[in-house]
């Protein structure tokens, strides 16, 4: 998934660098954004998967710091590129960086075992649509007016979709994000280790093998993110 995301990102950046018109440029940027959306969770899942539970918190902290620093470096680098190179180089340089990163990933990143998990397609669609509606209201609010029909409708649609998403997650067998997990003892993210699709919930990622065995014996984890539903009433 990480290599595929880097490939999609590089393809989108290359298409943007060669775009003959604005429409192609926007479509290429959307493609590169999809690739970046594949890279980020895959890199986090690998980070969680390769470190033992005792070191997982420090690894995730380093990952978080690296992603924050990358944003700052990216802005500075983009400014330097625009200062001294043509605008197309702004999209050409990431192609070279993605190719170099793909080579490093292929050589250095260890292969981790796959864990079968069901895809919550309905939950993904609801969450994406709700986020788009919310962002539409936030972005259009200052120009169109916070009381305008467009903004009020966008916020209303976002509220309905978010409510539908929560209702769906409460009923889904493999939820994308279990809303009730944080209310159950030991399931809140950050209690013992960062939860992820590859590591399960925090109760399954206890820092000691003995407590991990006891935790797994007392409850089961559904294949969603980061869901842990107690098997006892």
**Predicted pLDDT at 182:** 61
What DSSP string runs through 169-217? HHH-SS-SS-TTGGGSTTTSTTSSS--BTTTB-GGGG-SSHHHHHHHHH
With left for phi above 0 and alpha for psi between -120 and 50, is residue 208 left, alpha or beta? beta
CB atoms inside a 10 Å sphere around CB 194: 22
Angle between helices 22-50 and 2-17 (to 10 degrees): 160
Residues 6+ apart with CB under 8 A from 87: none
Per-domain boundaries in the chain: 2-108, 121-171, 181-230
Phi, psi of 187 (to 5 degrees): -100, -10
Instruction: Give the Cα separation of 101 and 187 in Å (integer).
Output: 35
Encode the chain (233 residues) as per-residue pLDDT tens digits.
889 999 999 999 999 999 999 999 999 999 999 999 899 888 888 888 888 888 988 999 999 999 889 889 988 988 998 889 998 999 999 999 999 999 998 888 877 666 676 778 899 999 999 999 999 999 999 999 999 999 999 999 999 999 999 999 998 888 887 766 666 655 544 444 444 443 444 444 444 444 444 444 444 444 444 444 444 44
Instruction: Give the Cα separation of 123 and 226 in Å (integer).
Output: 14
Instruction: Give the Cα separation of 71 and 77 in Å (integer).
Output: 10
CB atoms inside a 10 Å sphere around CB 129: 17
Instruction: Give the Cα separation of 178 and 163 in Å (integer).
Output: 13
Instruction: Give the Cα separation of 179 and 168 in Å (integer).
Output: 10
**Distances in Å between the alpha carbon of 144 and those of 60, 134, 138, 149?**
40, 15, 10, 9
Taking alpha carbons only, the member of 36, 23, 48 closest to residue 189 is 48
């Amino acid at each position: 998934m990480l290599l595929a995301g880097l490939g999609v990102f590089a393809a989108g950046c290359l298409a943007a660098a060669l775009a003959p018109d604005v429409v192609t440029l926007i479509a290429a940027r959307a493609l590169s954004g999809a690739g970046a959306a594949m890279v980020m969770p895959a890199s986090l899942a690998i980070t969680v998967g390769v470190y033992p539970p005792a070191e997982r918190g420090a690894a995730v902290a380093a990952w978080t710091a690296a992603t924050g620093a990358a944003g700052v470096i990216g802005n500075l680098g983009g400014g330097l590129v625009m200062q001294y190179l043509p605008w197309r180089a702004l999209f050409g340089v990431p192609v070279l960086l993605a190719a170099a990163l793909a080579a490093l990933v292929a050589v250095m990143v260890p292969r981790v075992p796959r864990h079968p998990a069901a895809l919550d397609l309905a939950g993904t669609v609801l969450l994406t649509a709700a986020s788009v509606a919310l962002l539409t209201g936030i972005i259009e609010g200052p120009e169109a007016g916070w009381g305008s029909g467009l903004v009020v409708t966008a916020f209303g649609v976002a509220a309905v979709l978010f409510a539908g998403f929560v209702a769906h997650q409460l009923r889904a067998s493999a939820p994308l994000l279990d809303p009730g997990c944080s209310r159950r003892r030991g399931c809140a993210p950050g209690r013992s280790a960062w939860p992820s699709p590859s590591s399960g919930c925090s109760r399954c990622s206890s820092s000691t093998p003995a407590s991990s065995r006891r935790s797994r014996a007392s409850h089961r984890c559904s294949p969603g993110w980061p869901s842990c539903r107690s098997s006892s009433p």
